[in-house]
Structure 1
Amino acid sequence: MIEHGFKSVLFLCLSNICQSPIAEAVCRKLVADQDVSDNWVIDSDAISDWNVGCALDPRAMSCLKNHDISTAHKARQVTKEDFATFNYILCMDENNLRDLNRKSNQVKNCKAKIKLLGAIDSFKQLIIEHPYYGNDSDFELCSSSVSCCRAFLEKAH
């Protein structure tokens, strides 16, 4: 349960081993750099249950390491409780958005604002493409979600 007064964001993608844990780790670093970590609860989830309990894709881990960011995140699937406890659920593409909106309709006390992460930063790409079938440069593009996370944190203050 998230304590009252905290701001909270949940990043979400299909399997929680690439895009959303990268966004989570980037956002954690940004709030740590701003010395406001104590005010935030930041996590990431998957729509699917395919990789629950798995570590990040090694290419995602390598990408984060190249930016001096570390994480010990293990994949998990979004729950009904997440919709009731997080202030924001930010997803990577239209399929995630559609699935999230469908799931949120099944939650009586949904408080989360559900949006595309890419929609927050109007100067960048709306969709944060899934890098899994790509190469290292595709993971690097995914890590560009840093500008979206920065824009989100500015608007959430």
Structure 2
Amino acid sequence: MSEQKPLRVLFVCHGNICRSPAAEGAFKHLIQEREMLSRFVVDSAGTSSFHIGERPHPDTRRAAREKGVTLDSLARQFEVEDFDKFDWIFAMDHKNLSDLLSMATNDADRKKVVLFRTFDPQRESDPIPDVPDPYYGGFAGFQDVQRIVMRTAENILDFVLSGKTTVPK
């Protein structure tokens, strides 16, 4: 019997120090709780090169710690090769979604890219279904992002485990 290939999931924001590492950490925390770490490869990246090599923002780490989540990634920039390395790529907002789609070279790549909050159970109550960028705001903004990524990670996990290839509307 052959071993199952891990599902490869990538979360992408602009600088890879706030939203995408928060989502990566929430998703890893969830799969660890469900004892599924070996079934996944999880990473995050940014569409810009501003923060390459940096740890997540201190307030991102603090908000994650409040929820029992550890963030240990270092910022990196998204590369076109990531389309080949990942099964699913979740953009944290419409700008990053647009940037990622513009880098895609074919339909298969474009089909991997999904707006993160498509899976947020509370998206209907928010007129702008982007994960807000907390970088220039106060700590409450980082806590809000952490709440969004925690609740959305569950639905993303259920979706990628389902084997479905059509994203819900």
Q: Same fold (TM over 0.5)?
A: yes
Instruction: Please give the secondary structure, in 1, of the residue aligned with 2:151.
Output: helix
Identity of aligned residues (%): 27
- Could you say which residue in structure 2 is the equivalent of 1:134? 137
CA-based RMSD: 1.8
Query: By how many angstroms is 1:110 displaced?
Result: 3.2
Q: Unpaired segments of 5 or more residues in structure 2?
A: 162-169
Does 2:117 align with 1:118? yes
Q: Unpaired segments of 5 or more residues in structure 1?
A: none
Bigger helix fraction: 2
Q: Is the 8 A contact 2:101 2:110 kept in 1?
A: no
State the distance in 1 between where 2:141 and 2:6 align: 33
- Structure 2: which amino acid aligns with 1:59? D
Q: How many residues align?
A: 154
| Alignment CA distance shift 1:111-1:91 (3 Å) | closer
Does 2:41 align with 1:37? no
Query: By how many angstroms is 1:108 displaced?
Result: 9.0
Q: For structure 1, which segment, 108-117 or 6-15, has the greater mean C-alpha deviation from structure 2 after superposition?
A: 108-117
State the distance in 1 between where 2:110 and 2:103 align: 13
Query: By how many angstroms is 1:28 displaced?
Result: 0.1
TM-score by length of 2: 0.85
State the distance in 2 between where 1:4 and 1:151 align: 22
- Structure 2: which amino acid aligns with 1:152? I
> After the TM superposition, which segments of 4 or more aligned residues of structure 1 sit over 2 Å from their partners?
107-112, 121-125
